[in-house]
Amino acid sequence: MTLFTGYRLGGLTLPNRVVMAPMTRVRATVGGLATPSMATYYAQRATAGLIVSEGVQPSLIGQSNPGTPGLHTVEQVAAWRLATAAVHTNGGRIFAQLMHGGRVSHPDTTGMQPVGPSAVPAVGDVFTPSGPQAAPMPRALDTAEVPEHARSYARAALRAIDAGFDGVELHGANGYLISQFLSSNANLRTDRYGGPIANRIRFAVEAATATVEAVGRDRTGIRLSPGGTFWGVQETDVRELYTALLAELAPLGLAYVHLEATADEELLLTLRRAWPSTLVVNPVLPMGPKQTGRDDADRWLAMGADLISFGRAFIANPDLVERLRGGLPIAPVDEATYYQGGDAGYLTYPAHQYAA
């Protein structure tokens, strides 16, 4: 078995074990609509075994950054169909990552006060239409409101399938809403969603359960960042927290769990053993100094991962699978064009040019 061996993921047959990780690129319209350029971008990368889209907000209040796409209106569903069709025409498969920003948002972006488990602001500046601003104070959700936000993932998942996606990935990582409920400093609740581990994992399990009930287990994955500290979240008892979470998720039969390398290798291997089905591993710290390479992928496949996700390497290398297969150079990415909009640094990276 190698990175280029096929893999059966639910109802999909993947031609290789390379996953394109979700990456925010902020190229959507003001109304959260996917654009023809976004369709081209994903279609260019359709040789990945699986593409996971950029974070897509399941509701307006769930939008974190300006310029991100949504899946909460009829117009957004219609706009995404161009992108999913383009990926499928090029032989690919694509899941939508559903991302509720929770407290990592701003009224200037959504017109609403952000919500979170507790009235504790995120650490750092958030992006707004007028530039970075300090993260605002979120409104703590009432107990009766929490299930509605868990169900928002399921509603967006139904729209994703209507839009032509092959499935969805719940963004349970990186300090966004699911991660905030898992946290021991963003979640100071004293009701059934806070305090002991069994309560802090409840929101994640409810969101996953609702999504499975809506679109099926084969179409539902979740991404997690055990021990991660994005946006100021902290987690106590990380091993116990995530083994308990995986134990609750396992009966749902999710398509996969997608782990980020935010914890030490020993813990990640413990979670590999605790998860009974498909595991996707992102072997390097997201936005850290190193990009995932072929050696990282091979090492984690040997340690029990089923699929390997690559992030930044896919930005500048639309043909990343073939470059990895052939040992070809991996082109560097221009960080200045990550989020600036337009097609430069988005659609302008070429495939490898072979010498005549």
Find the mean pLDDT for residues 61-77.
98
Q: Measured between alpha carbons, how far apart are the two ends of the chain, in Å? A: 33
Residue with tokens 């009930």: 213
Q: What is the mean pLDDT of the chain?
A: 97
More confident residue, 355 or 17: 17
Residue with tokens 């802090």: 200
Q: Which residue segments constitute the domains of the chain, with CATH numbers given?
A: 7-337 (3.20.20.70)
Supply the pLDDT for residue 293.
87
Question: pLDDT per residue over 310-355, tens digit each?
Answer: 999 999 999 999 999 999 999 999 999 999 899 999 999 999 987 6
3-class SS at 33?
A: coil
Q: Is the pLDDT of residue 67 over 70?
A: yes
Find the mean pLDDT for residues 87-93.
98
Kindly report the pTM of this predicted structure. Answer: 0.97
Catalytic residues: 176
Q: Is the pLDDT of residue 356 over 70?
A: no
Q: Is the pLDDT of residue 262 over 70?
A: yes
Alpha carbon separation from 106 to 33, 44, 99, 229 (Å, rounded): 19, 33, 15, 20
Alpha-carbon span 301 to 343, nearest angstrom: 34
Alpha carbon separation from 334 to 36, 42, 107, 130, 266 (Å, rounded): 22, 18, 30, 23, 33
Supply the pLDDT for residue 235.
98
